[in-house]
């Protein structure tokens, strides 16, 4: 399978990014390192919050989305990194045992003015749980190399 370059993305195109399951142990391990709020690390205390139980840190959900993005797209693409992300929204809680899947729709392609070998791709991603309910959305920015002229 040939590599995916900036040239290969089409505005309106949908990209399926696969799925992954998150365990209680992973939710707690991530949160103990990066986001030890009670509703992310302690089942008993979490049960008494507005969330009614343990939920994943939004940064954990974002990082799991990043892994789906890598496995489903970036690992096969001429990715040159990202300047950032817009409008990250944690729409519903992610709970232990949830299976997350993600999908992107290409919104915009902007060839670089200063660097003719690359361009910016703006994509709206959604992450869903096993019930098909949206748990996160984000507008991603990605820099991709253009196809080299000797690779046709």
What's the min distance (Å) between Cβ of 70 and a second copy?
6
- Of 79, 101, 126, 129, the one binding a second copy by CB under 8 A: 79
**Which residue from 108, 94, 97, 92 is spatially nearest to 142, judged by alpha carbons?**
108
What's the min distance (Å) between Cβ of 86 and a second copy?
6
Query: Environment class of residue 9 by beta-carbon count within 10 Å: exposed (0-12), middle (13-18) or buried (19+)?
Result: buried
- Of 10, 14, 44, 87, the one binding a second copy by CB under 8 A: 87
- Binding flag, residue 107, a second copy (CB under 8 A): no
What's the min distance (Å) between Cβ of 18 and a second copy?
14
Q: Which of residues 51-70 bind a second copy (CB under 8 A)?
A: 51, 57-59, 62-64, 66-67, 70
Q: How far is CA 89 from CA 66, 71, 85, 125, 137, in A?
A: 15, 22, 11, 11, 5
Q: How far is CA 107 from CA 49, 88, 127, in A?
A: 37, 16, 17
Name the residues that contact a second copy, by CB under 8 A. Answer: 30, 33-37, 39, 49-51, 57-59, 62-64, 66-67, 70, 74-75, 79-90
């Amino acid at each position: 399978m040939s590599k995916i370059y900036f040239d290969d993305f089409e505005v309106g195109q949908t990209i399926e990014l696969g799925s992954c399951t998150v365990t209680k142990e992973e939710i707690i391990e991530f949160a103990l390192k990066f986001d030890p709020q009670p509703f992310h690390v302690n089942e008993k205390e979490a049960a008494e919050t507005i969330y009614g139980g343990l939920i994943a840190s939004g940064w954990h959900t974002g990082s799991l989305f990043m892994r789906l993005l890598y496995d489903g797209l970036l690992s096969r693409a001429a990715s040159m990194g990202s300047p950032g992300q817009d409008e990250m929204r944690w729409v519903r809680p992610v709970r232990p045992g949830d299976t997350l899947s993600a999908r992107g729709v290409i919104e915009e392609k902007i060839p670089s003015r200063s660097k003719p070998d690359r361009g910016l791709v703006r994509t709206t991603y959604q992450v869903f749980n096993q019930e098909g309910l949206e748990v996160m959305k984000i507008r991603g920015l990605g820099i991709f190399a253009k196809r080299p002229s000797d690779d046709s």
